[in-house]
Amino acid sequence: MTPGPGRGGLAGAGGVELCGVRLRGPVLNGSGTFDALAARRAFGDALLERFPFDAFVSKTITREPRQGNPPPRLWETPAGLINSIGLPNRGLDGFIAHDLPRLAELPVPLVVSVMAPSPEALADLAARVAQREEVTMIELNVSCPNVKTGLVMGAEPVEAGRAVDRVRRVVEKPLILKLTPNAASPAEVARAAEQAGADALSLVNTLRGMALDPRTGAPWLGGGTGGVSGAAIRAVALEQVHSVAGAVAVPVVGMGGIATGRDAADFLRAGATCVAVGTESFRDPGAGARVAADLSAIVAESRDFAPAMRASA
Ligand SMILES: Cc1cc2nc3c(=O)[nH]c(=O)nc-3n(C[C@H](O)[C@H](O)[C@H](O)COP(=O)(O)O)c2cc1C
How close are the terminal C-alpha atoms of the chain, in Å? 31
Q: Are 176 and 137 in contact (CB under 8 A)?
A: yes
Instruction: Report d(CA 198, CA 26) in Å as an integer.
Output: 19
pLDDT, tens only, 237-283: 999 999 999 999 999 999 999 999 999 999 999 999 999 999 999 99
The residue type at 216: T
Q: Number of helices (H) and strands (E), helices first, in the chain?
A: 12, 14
Nearest Cα residue to 180 out of 145, 205, 162: 205
Instruction: Give the pLDDT score at 306.
Output: 57
Surface-to-core class of residue 12, CB atoms within 10 Å of its CB (0-12 exposed, 13-18 middle, 19+ buried): exposed
Q: Which domains does the chain have, with CATH numbers?
A: 12-301 (3.20.20.70)
Instruction: Report d(CA 204, CA 201) in Å as an integer.
Output: 10
pLDDT, tens only, 91-146: 999 999 999 999 999 999 999 999 999 999 999 999 999 999 999 999 999 976 65
**Does the Cβ of 161 fall within 6 Å of ligand 1?**
no
* Residue 312: band (very low, low, confident or very high) from pLDDT cuts 50, 70, 90: very low
Cα of 92 to ligand 1 centre, how many Å? 20
Q: Are 75 and 211 in contact (CB under 8 A)?
A: yes
Measured from the CA of 203, which atom of ligand 1 is nearest?
19
- In sequence order, which residues have a C-beta less than 8 Å from that of residue 15 and are 6 or more positions away? 1, 22, 23, 24, 25, 54
Q: Is residue 41 helix, strand or coil?
A: helix
Q: Is 144 an active-site residue?
A: yes
Instruction: Give the pLDDT score at 269.
Output: 95
Closest residue by CA, ligand 1 atom 5: 32
Whether this prediction's pTM lies above 0.85 is answered by yes
pLDDT, tens only, 36-84: 999 999 999 999 999 999 999 999 999 999 999 999 999 999 999 999 9
Instruction: Give the pLDDT score at 120.
Output: 95
Instruction: Report d(CA 100, CA 103) in Å as an integer.
Output: 5
Q: Are 69 and 151 in contact (CB under 8 A)?
A: no
